[in-house]
Structure formats: C-alpha cells, structure tokens
A and B are shown apart, each in its own frame.
Chain A
Amino acid sequence: SQELEQSPQSLIVQEGKNLTINCTSSKTLYGLYWYKQKYGEGLIFLMMLQKGGEEKSHEKITAKLDEKKQQSSLHITASQPSHAGIYLCGADGRTPLVFGKGTRLSVIA
C-alpha cells in the first residue's frame, strides 16, 4: 500500500521567513494534493499536481512535484500568522486517497 512521509513533523518560523515542507511517497504518484487544516477543522484544498516537474502557485504558496513523481515540496514565502495550521499531502495512487501525517506550522511574531 502507498505511504506518504512528511517532513518536518512540526515547524516554528518567525513571521516573514520562508519555509519548505516535504512529502515523499513510497510509490509513484498519479496525483498529489496539498491541503491545509486548522486544528480540529476540516481540510481546505490548496493545490493538486499531476505531471512530473509541475509547479503551481497560489498567493505566497508554491508546490512542486518532482520529475520522478515521488516527492513534492510546499514552499511558503514571507510567512504570515494566517499560514499557521497543519499541512497535509494526499496521494492519488489509483487507490483510495492516502494522506501523510501532516506538518504542523506555527508562525510567531
């Protein structure tokens, strides 16, 4: 079965700093989703990547899928308190969507 490993597990950054979250799959990815979750709340869709080398941006968040389609990174530029939350990657491996355990991001002033 497909497994996703996210790193780091948690991250504390100062407001205005850049950061990167990684998601590594045990198998080739047919699609990779990034979601954000506030504590105890539902998941908010951020982006979906399908093609090797694909890169998408939304406001200050950029996600990329590597050429081999087994690893994705999520980069936040000039972090703000509103970016705080849990970031989850989800893999569409032609089986039920499988999620990583999430990366908890805290942004401090």
Chain B
Amino acid sequence: EAGVAQSPRYKIIEKRQSVAFWCNPISGHATLYWYQQILGQGPKLLIQFQNNGVVDDSQLPKDRFSAERLKGVDSTLKIQPAKLEDSAVYLCASSLAEQQETQYFGPGTRLLVL
C-alpha cells in the first residue's frame, strides 16, 4: 500500500514570496491533516479535512495560510506571503476516519524562508 506522498521535499524562498505544498493521502483515507513542525518542537495541527470539508482550522494563520482539498483526495497548503518564522517542516497525515484513528504521516516538506 502506498503511503502519504508529499512534494516538494525541500523549498527555499525569500520572505514575502509565496509557496505551495502538495499532499496525496493514502487511498481511501477520508481525513487529511496538515501540521507545522518547527525545529525542536512537536508537530502542531494547522488544518484538518474530513473529505473535502474543513473540520478544524483554529490554529491556521488565515491571514497568510490557506489550504484546500477540492475533490476530497489530494490537498494543497499555501503560504502567501511567507515570513521568516514560517521556516519549518510541513507534514501531511491521513487517517481512515476522524476520531481515534491512527494518523499516517508523509515525509514532510522542509521550508526555509530567508
């Protein structure tokens, strides 16, 4: 079974530029998550989708971050404009359902904002 796919794996941009990340979850997984992991910290949930609907985006900085999952399968996370403090690993995860279901993570996208 294929795992969660993410691209790109690495990205370097200058502050105020925009960037987009892509995630393709495990086939059949209804729930998709985007996390931000700053160096030395645990992952922090940014947004959670159930199919193509948003379940939780309370920790998403909506003035600069946006995410969509239009067809309920793959998803994109965008940052516009980027700030230095956005440098982090962006992890995508998916699970079969919502509550009490194991989340499986992709390899992440490492973003460096200069």
Contacts and interface: CB of A to CB of B under 8 A. Distances in A.
Interface stretch (B12-20, B65-73, B104-112): B104-112
B77 interface: no
A99 B42 contact: yes
B45 interface: yes
A33 to B, nearest CB: 7
Contacts of A98: 42
Contacts of B107: 41-42
A41 B108 contact: yes
B43 A43 contact: yes
B110 A40 contact: yes
Contact of B100 (A31, A40, A100): A31
A43 B100 contact: no
Interface string A10-52: 0000000000000000000011010100001111110010100
Chain A interface, DSSP helix/strand/loop, else mixed: strand
Interface in A47-98: 48, 50, 88, 90, 92, 94, 96-98
B42 A94 contact: no
Nearest to A101: B42
Contact of A94 (B40, B43, B58, B99): B99
Contacts of B106: 42
B103 interface: yes
B91 A97 contact: no
B32 interface: no
Nearest to B46: A96
Interface in B76-114: 89, 91, 93, 99-100, 102-108, 110
Interface in B4-43: 4, 6, 33, 40-43
Contact of A96 (B56, B108, B110): B56
Nearest to A6: B42
Interface string B44-64: 110010000000101100000
B48 A100 contact: no
B45 A96 contact: yes
Interface of A: 4, 30-31, 33, 35, 40-45, 48, 50, 88, 90, 92, 94, 96-102
